[in-house]
Chain A
């Protein structure tokens, strides 16, 4: 399976990473190298093998469904690039 420039552009868009058009050929080339390496997995007989979900068999612990944390607005916002009036501020989303 080979990745062309338009696929590379689509992946960059999905990942929300801006890639300049002139960088796309090199990027597509790198993807192809890595995917070529990954293609080896097609040699493995995986019939009847379950995909791993947890490397150590364990049952997730449960706890009472109650509020255990909160009231930390100032701490939550302390690292925001732009925080106003107790909110994270971002560029206008709705026209």
Chain B
């Protein structure tokens, strides 16, 4: 058996049930790996006591033959999820010292399924970023490097700590959240699997809100099978989130039957971008060939409004963020600025928010404020919402043609260097999400699957997009792609 912390969820689950290991051993292996991985800055709040306590409880349940789906499996939780009594800062200074009195539904669902929480994972501040460089904790670092070059690379964002931790085997899997690509882009940058389910599959209750009409939680894992196992444990109807869907949760793992014969896979011509690196195009063509070899029918499709997805997103997401983040006022939780003599409540708000928010968050809150302000609401916000309707309609039309899933690249490049984008304008960073953001705007499920390495030895991912609520079918196709691509590379340990 490989080292315990290197196991997949499914392998560890089977080993636990066969009595070949214990949750305590698995958990200790992960805690040891975390301790030795400070250089990755992936785990930012460590909870070894909670982990060992839950591991002991899991071992007792396993011994009693009463083991739920994720019993005894050690995972990391993105800092965006509120965890009772454990720091939950959303990567922001403004939530310094905040200890939630409650547990998010998703992390509670995982705990109920027996999962063991190892700690909280680094992320871009309020999930706003594509490189994990906006975090109050500092950068999370990608375990992958360009050959022998020791330049530090981004693990992507905003779920950068989750991606780094899973790729470096610090945990068996992790939670992520995805508002414009924040699960799928970091998964692609680290050779891991990440699925964003249909909007409404996972409860948003207790997850610090960024853009409520786009945010969804999902698992980040080492395999598609693991994504199926963990997604099933995470999702389900929650009366505390009015947008959570009251639909039965299928057995996702059972859907991985390897059969995609006759399925129609759409290839959208608009995803072939000017200036896209040749390696991404080659990877995409390879993926198309793999689907064809597995018996799928390849269909050229058109999603004509793709080009307008990012600009629409950069109206809608900041608008929602400016409303959601209005709650950080220095009154009820988190940071409050020190006030000068004579300062009133307005100065308290303004100084608290100036000190507590980082530059990218401030920028987005102010853009959101602007597009919602009197005189601009129709020109920006309503126009963007109407374009969003058209983006969703594009997908509805291709699904109505009988398309089962859509295959695209996951990102326009491999992981880039930390600091490389510092001098670029904000829009250049936003382009990272060009292939993923449409999926959030249309509320669809999307999954990133590692499919190859570029010539510098960095992982590249492909994305599959599914019909609403058809995660089971999507995972089935993703599983076939994963098997065909046979991606087994791991980063060489340097940390």
Contact = CB atoms under 8 A, between A and B. Distances in A.
A76 B310 CA distance: 38
Contacts of B365: 15, 17
A44 B331 contact: no
Contacts of A50: 386, 389
A16 B353 contact: yes
Contact of A80 (B331, B349, B362, B468): B331
A64 interface: no
A38 B311 contact: yes
B366 interface: yes
Q: Tell me the interface secondary structure of chain B in the complex.
A: helix
B336 A81 contact: yes
A81 B331 CA distance: 7
Interface stretch (B6-14, B220-228, B339-347): B339-347
A52 B395 CA distance: 15
Contacts of B354: 17-19
Contacts of A3: 370
B350 A11 contact: no
A2 interface: no
A38 B426 CA distance: 12
A15 B322 contact: yes
B99 A11 contact: no
Given A41-B311, A91-B348, A34 B334 contact: no
B221 to A, nearest CB: 25
B32 to A, nearest CB: 33
A41 B380 CA distance: 8
Q: Tell me the interface secondary structure of chain A in the complex.
A: loop
B366 A15 contact: yes
Contacts of B373: 11, 14
B367 interface: yes
A61 to B, nearest CB: 7
A19 B351 CA distance: 9
A80 B311 contact: no
Interface in A41-89: 41-44, 46, 49-56, 58, 60-61, 63, 72, 75-76, 78-82, 88
Interface of B: 97-99, 101, 198-200, 213, 239, 242-243, 245-246, 305, 307-308, 310-312, 314-315, 322, 326, 329-336, 339, 343-351, 353-354, 357, 362-363, 365-367, 369-371, 373, 379-380, 382-390, 392, 425-427, 430, 441-443, 468
10 contacts: A14-B369, A16-B350, A17-B365, A44-B386, A49-B389, A51-B382, A56-B200, A79-B98, A79-B333, A91-B345
